[in-house]
Structure 1
Amino acid sequence: MQFDVVVIGGGLAGLSCAIRLAEQGKRCAVVSSGQSALYFSSGSLDLLAQLPDGSMVSEPLLALPALAQQAPQHPYSLIGAPRVAALAVEAVQLLERCGLKMQGSNQQNHLRVTPLGTCRATWLSPQAIPTAPFGDVLPWRRIAVLGIEGFLDFQPQMAASSLAAEQSVQVDEVSLHLPVLDRLRNNPSEFRAVNIARVLDRPENLAVLIEEIQRQAGQAEAIFLPACLGLESDEPLMALRQALGKPVFLLPTLPPSVLGMRLHQALRQRLQLLGGVFMPGDTVLRADFDGQRITGLYTRNHTDIPLRAQQVVLASGSFFSNGLKAEFGGIREPVFDLDVYSKPQREDWSSIDLFAPQPYLQFGVQTDANLRALKQGVAISNLYAIGAVTGGYEPLLQGCGAGVSLLGALHVAQQIAGQEGSV
């Protein structure tokens, strides 16, 4: 099976790279071993929220020179500040072509409300999420946080308490009684955000939801609901806002995340619309090499039939997605046995303080400045590494995981598209 590019990994990095290449006429295949990490995300995308020294970042692009000094192996530092700024613009445009209209600016972070009712700095957020300008507060003085009776993946009391303390506003916390959800409620394993959204998105059930919110919301100026609505589009949320005549927003829930799933589905649909091939439930096991060049990939489902491509992009994720493996002998990249940033002593991989920075989060594949993967210190000529599988940065503490995935994907796509020749 022959392609111009094979992308290993169907998450944010892999899909974004494949989409951009497909838009430029490349025949792409994406091999995805399982559920994307987007299914576990809030739907918001971070660019850079904090420097390694702990300094908070309000203007990500202006903080890049300091980041390069403090973390020279960070993917942004390798790409370079001018290129990162240009790629951030391209990333927003790509999301828009996928039908994803996000709120936010490349110039300044904003604050999004988390499921716990706290505020976190981020780059882009779905239109459904409540936000405030960086360093500011929410514009409403009375908010209703409405849970769903029996739904354990969102705790309205916790969110309401944090909002009241942090925002100095009056917060009313109420649980909605919705008999249309009784069948799901009787089976805890099915009483999840995605299944609830499938029920509430129906027009006849949306009317019941509107009636219950009107009864419970009181005099609140804004209403916050768990993200159990709008599995396919924002239309149910828009209908709620119109019927209630006031702002209605969604707060992410425990996984699976409706907002994260919508992001993944939009990217996958865009890829397939462009003619890209998506191979779900398959795993790349090994590769053939000719010197420093990959000549074939072997997957679990295709057994002895190799996938052949001029270029290969590794976007297999970190430990969570088995893109990296922790073994007694050290940290390993399992497909190509690439060079990995890590610490040799196991006791140095993590901190005993659960809330302290965890060293293992910075482990990952080493690359050159073009994001080509290194093996025994030498760049493989047609293998690039992007996203969470790469090392040199801390995605959670630094608030840059999504940005590294998106911008790295576009950076590599441009390099590949600029090379002549295809299979």
Structure 2
Amino acid sequence: MQFDVVVIGGGLAGLSCAIRLAEQGKRCAVVSSGQSALYFSSGSLDLLAQLPDGTAVESPLAALPALAQQAPQHPYSLLGAARVATLAAETVQLLARCGMQMQGSSEHNHLRVTPLGTRRATWLSPQAIPTTELGGVLPWRKLAVLGIEGFLDFQPQMAASSLAEEQGVMAKVASLHLPLLDRLRNNPSEFRAVNIARVLDVPENLAVLTEEIRRQAGEAEAVFLPACLGLESDQPLAALREALGKPVFLLPTLPPSVLGMRLHQALRQRLQQLGGVFMPGDTVLRADFDGQRISGLYTRNHTDIPLRAQQVVLASGSFFSNGLVAEFDGIREPVFGLDVYSQPQREDWSRRDLFAPQPYLQFGVQTDASLRALKQGQAIVNLYAIGAVVGGYDPLQQGCGAGVSLVGALHVAQQIAMQEVSA
């Protein structure tokens, strides 16, 4: 099977790169082994929230020179501040073309309200999530934080307590009694945010939901609900807001995340609308090399028929998705045997303090300044690495995982397009 580009990995990085390439007329295939990590995310996207030395970041773009000094192997440092700024702006446009209108700016982080009622700095958030500016406060003094009777993946009491303590608001707590969910409620394994959303998104159920929220919210100026609404679009939330006549916002729940799944589905649909091929449930096992060039890829479902492409993009993720594998004698990248940033001694991979930055989170594939993957110190001519599989940064401590994925994806897509033009 012949393609212009094969992307290994169907997560945020892989899909974004494939979409941009498909928009430029490339025939792309995305090989996806399983669920994207987006299914476990809040739906918000980080660009840079903290420097390696622990300094909080208010303006991500302004902090990039300091980041380059402290972490010269960070993907942002390899690309350069000007390039990152340009690609961050292009990311917002790409998401909009996928139907995802996000709030936020790369110039200044904002604070999103978390499921615990605290606030966390981030770059872009879905319109459904309540946010404030840095140093700002919520504009309402009376809130209703409402759970769903029997739904254990969201605890409104915890969120309300934090909001009252940190924001000084009066936060009423209650649980919605919705008989239309009884069938799901009787089976705990089915009573999850995604399945609830499939019921609450039905237009015929809007009146029941509206009346129960109105009864429980009372005189509250705004309502916070668990993110069990709007699996396919913002329309159910917009209709609920109009029916109630007051602001309604969603707080992420335990996985699977409705907000994260919606982002993933929007990206996948955009790729397929552009003619891209999405190959779910398949895994690239090995590759044929012709010198410093990949000539063919073999997958679990296509062991005898190689996938051939002019360019290959590795977006296979980190340990979570087996893009990296930890063994007794070291860390390895399992498909191509690429060079990996890591610590040689196992005792240096982690720290005893669970909440301290963990060294293993910075492990990953080594690349050159163009994000071409390295093997035995040499760049493979037609293989790029993007997203969580790349080393040199800590996505959690530095708050930059989504940004690295998106900025790297668009950079590589442009590199490939430029190569085709020059050829």
Note whether the superposition's TM-score is higher than 0.5: yes
1:82 aligns with 2:95: no
TM-score (norm 2): 0.99
Aligned with 1:61: secondary structure?
Answer: coil
Q: Distance in 2 between the 1:332 and 1:237 partners?
A: 44
Give 2:309's aligned residue: 309
Cα drift, residue 202 of structure 1: 1.1
Give 1:33's aligned residue: 33
Q: Distance in 2 between the 1:106 and 1:359 partners?
A: 27
Give 1:407's aligned residue: 407
Q: Distance in 1 between the 2:91 and 2:165 partners?
A: 35
1:137 aligns with 2:137: yes
Give 1:271's aligned residue: 271
Q: Distance in 2 between the 1:114 and 1:234 partners?
A: 19
Give 1:173's aligned residue: 173
Give 1:188's aligned residue: 188
Could you list the per-position Cα deviations for residues 45-88 of structure 1 after superposition, in whole angstroms to 9, with x for gaps in the alignment?
Answer: 00000000111111100000000000000000000000000001
Show structure 1 runs of 5+ residues with no match: none
Matched to 1:263, the amino acid is L
Show structure 2 runs of 5+ residues with no match: none
Once the two structures are superposed, the pairs formed by residues 65-76 of structure 1 within 5 Å of their partners are 65-76=65-76
Once the two structures are superposed, the pairs formed by residues 4-403 of structure 1 within 5 Å of their partners are 4-403=4-403
Q: Distance in 1 between the 2:398 and 2:231 partners?
A: 30
Q: Distance in 2 between the 1:207 and 1:353 partners?
A: 49
Runs of 4+ in 1 over 6 A off after TM superposition: none
Q: Distance in 2 between the 1:394 and 1:206 partners?
A: 42
Q: Distance in 2 between the 1:124 and 1:73 partners?
A: 25
Cα drift, residue 204 of structure 1: 2.1
Q: Distance in 2 between the 1:63 and 1:140 partners?
A: 32
Q: Distance in 2 between the 1:420 and 1:216 partners?
A: 60
Cα drift, residue 207 of structure 1: 1.1
Q: Distance in 2 between the 1:243 and 1:82 partners?
A: 45
Aligned with 1:238: secondary structure?
Answer: helix
Cα drift, residue 138 of structure 1: 1.1
Q: Distance in 1 between the 2:106 and 2:350 partners?
A: 33
CA, structure 1 residues 205+422, in 2 after alignment: closer, same or farther (shift >3 Å)? farther
Tell me how large the CA RMSD over aligned residues is: 1.1
Could you list the per-position Cα deviations for residues 19-53 of structure 1 after superposition, in whole angstroms to 9, with x for gaps in the alignment?
Answer: 00000011100000000001111000000000001
Q: Distance in 1 between the 2:137 and 2:420 partners?
A: 51
Q: Distance in 2 between the 1:253 and 1:323 partners?
A: 26
Could you list the per-position Cα deviations for residues 327-366 of structure 1 after superposition, in whole angstroms to 9, with x for gaps in the alignment?
Answer: 1111110000101011111111111111111111110000
CA, structure 1 residues 277+403, in 2 after alignment: closer, same or farther (shift >3 Å)? same
Could you list the per-position Cα deviations for residues 271-295 of structure 1 after superposition, in whole angstroms to 9, with x for gaps in the alignment?
Answer: 0011100000000000000111100
Q: Any conservation in 2 of the 1:4–1:422 contact (CA below 8 Å)?
A: no
Cα drift, residue 206 of structure 1: 1.8
Matched to 2:296, the amino acid is G
Matched to 2:11, the amino acid is G
Q: Any conservation in 2 of the 1:310–1:422 contact (CA below 8 Å)?
A: no
TM-score (norm 1): 0.99
Aligned with 1:326: secondary structure?
Answer: strand
Q: Any conservation in 2 of the 1:193–1:228 contact (CA below 8 Å)?
A: yes
Q: Distance in 1 between the 2:113 and 2:229 partners?
A: 17
Cα drift, residue 420 of structure 1: 2.3
Q: Distance in 2 between the 1:12 and 1:165 partners?
A: 35
Cα drift, residue 422 of structure 1: 12
Cα drift, residue 136 of structure 1: 1.1
Q: Distance in 2 between the 1:305 and 1:94 partners?
A: 33
Percent identity between the two aligned chains:
87
